[in-house]
Amino acid sequence: MTKFNQVFWVLVAWLGLSVLPAHAQAPKLVVAIVVDQLRYDYLERFEPHFSTNGFRLLMERGAFMTFGRYNYVPTVTGPGHASYLSGGGPAMHGIMGNSWFDKKTRQDVSCVSDSKVQSVGTTNSSGKASPHRFIGATMADQMRLHFGSKVISASIKDRGSILAAGKKPAGAYWYDADTGRFVTSSYYMQELPSWVKEFNNRELPQSYEGRVWERLLPEDSYHYSDQGIGEGRLQGETNTVFNHIVAVSTNGFDTFYSTPFGDHLTTELGLAALKGEALGQGQHPDLLCLSFSSLDGCGHIFGPYSHEIQDMVVRLDRQLERLFNHLEQTIGMDNVTVVLTSDHGVAPTPEFAKAMGLNGTREGGNFMTDLMARMDQEYGAGKYFLSPSLSYGNIFLNYQTLKEKQLAPTAVMSFIRDYALSTGFYQACYTREQLLDGRVSGWIGQCVLNGFNAERSGDLVLVNKPFAIPGSSKTGTTHGSPYSYDSHVPILFYGKAFKPGRYADEFYITDIAATLASALRIEGPPGSIGKPCVRILATP
């Protein structure tokens, strides 16, 4: 190609942005919201306490998929955010956990950490992050390709902000808990825009100092006990019950992270982004991705049957109401499409589950140590594993040792599987070979397969039994399993393109991108494995 031709086509590509196609029904703005750790049952349990214009706006005037499920493991934050707008699980996009053992560098890596980029807005390393480990594209990229959409993303968590927003949003911002400021990285830009600087200068985190978190509703409106068994404590506190007091000056800028003040901060940033970026004011639809992280922090400590969780969800409802009221006043909700879901659910604390007659247990975290001792016994002393810890049930074999000892990998994998299943803690164990061949059956098998990335995953994948919590913590709870408490999440679509109603249809998290793409009449992301729910589309 001649120099002239090159310049010509660059110009055409650039000018093309101003004549991109649109259809009459296209909204001016799409708002994609993730509420971190929002279980499906929260919306049903707490609905009587919701305002008219928060969650209820979506539940009553939108399409509410009441049987939305994650169809892969692990059900954790990084994969959840990478999946819901890309339409594929970890098998496709490669985000197989919040962090994982990286076979190439032989060390644990965070799903968004990026040593090749620089922090912007802070001098520490909290900004050194990008979507470079994400494979493929999300609806954010598809909207940019089709409409030339401006994409802005914000969350307290870096992964909550980065992974949904695709490969090249106009901005992605997350919270630096060392300085109490929102930051980004040189992957996106060289300097924070003035509206983010102004937002940081408001010093909202400092303003939470001394604030009391008390119940919003009368005490008898709360389900279960405030003294729930298995509950942990907020940072710096000695009590597990209301009231809670924020002490930023003593405990640092992340002390309010697990309280409603974290959601307040996120809402304020969302409102500032709408104004600062003039989102929804142009010819073509823009996209705002918001992820509310604080419910997750609270849920890990207090569990799903606590007063704190009920209060967090009801207070978040009021934050959503503020956001939707603002959109109504500025853009008009007729011109807005909203999709809201969660990145995973959460298990009850094992102690609570046990008290309810269920098999709640905590696995002490000794599995790998015990397994290594068994291996030494069976095959003689050796370094049989690349990583000494389980990474979301993944075990990484050291093939060099197997080769030296002339051990057949299949025999070793059978030995490990038999041992794992004999411990009584695990429900299932799959080998790399099985998964590469697609030889799995049932719901759990399908979830493991959709979560298995051929390049990055381990040689065996273990799945714990229901109500069994891996890890060594003594209180609180976690998520990551294929079971309903972790995988069943609310999925809501709002906007002119959707027929309002409650739909208990079979619907997976990987169906969101296909459904949204159909509503916007654009091509879906390349790795999407889902299909649109035609029943909810106003004009399919």
Provide the 8-state DSSP code for 123: S
Residues that bind Zn ion (CB under 5 A): 36, 77, 296, 343
**Consecutive H or E run containing 290:** strand 286-292
Please give the full DSSP string across 407-452, using - where no structure is assigned.
--HHHHHHHHHHHHHHTSSEEEEEEHHHHHHT---HHHHHHHHHH-
Q: Give the nearest distance from C-beta 196 to Zn ion in angstroms.
A: 23
How many CB atoms within 10 Å of residue 203? 11
How many CB atoms within 10 Å of residue 6? 10
Q: Give the nearest distance from C-beta 39 to Zn ion in angstroms.
A: 12
Q: Are 90 and 452 in contact (CB under 8 A)?
A: yes
Nearer to Zn ion, 95 or 120 (CB): 95
Please give the full DSSP string across 444-504, using - where no structure is assigned.
HHHHHHHH--TTTS-SEEEEEPTTEE-SS-SSS----SSSHHHHB--EEEESTTB--EEE-
Residues 6+ apart with CB under 8 A from 371: 416, 419, 420
Nearer to Zn ion, 148 or 160 (CB): 160
Q: Please tell me which residue in 77, 122, 255, 515 is annotated as part of the active site.
A: 77
Instruction: Establish whether 238 is a catalytic residue.
Output: no
Say how far apart CA 481 and CA 494 lie, in whole Å: 29
Q: Give the nearest distance from C-beta 97 to Zn ion in angstroms.
A: 12
Q: Are 396 and 385 in contact (CB under 8 A)?
A: yes
Q: Among 133, 163, 71, which Cα is nearest to 530's?
A: 71
Nearer to Zn ion, 296 or 486 (CB): 296
Say how far apart CA 145 and CA 215 lie, in whole Å: 46
β-pair type (171-176, 181-185): antiparallel
Q: Among 460, 459, 491, 478, which Cα is nearest to 71's?
A: 491
Nearer to Zn ion, 317 or 343 (CB): 343
Q: Among 73, 66, 50, which Cα is nearest to 448's?
A: 73
Most distant CA atoms of the chain, gap in Å: 76
Q: Are 516 and 537 in contact (CB under 8 A)?
A: no
Instruction: Identify the bridge partners of residue 151 per DSSP, sorted by sequence position.
Output: 287
Task: Classify the phi-psi angles of 119: left when phi > 0, otherwise alpha if psi is within -120 to 50, otherwise beta.
Answer: beta
Please give the full DSSP string across 28-95, using - where no structure is assigned.
SEEEEEEETT--HHHHHHHGGG--TTTHHHHHHHSEEETTEE--SS--SHHHHHHHHTT---HHHH--
Q: Scan for tokens 């009368």, then name that residue.
A: 218
List residues with catalytic annotation: 77
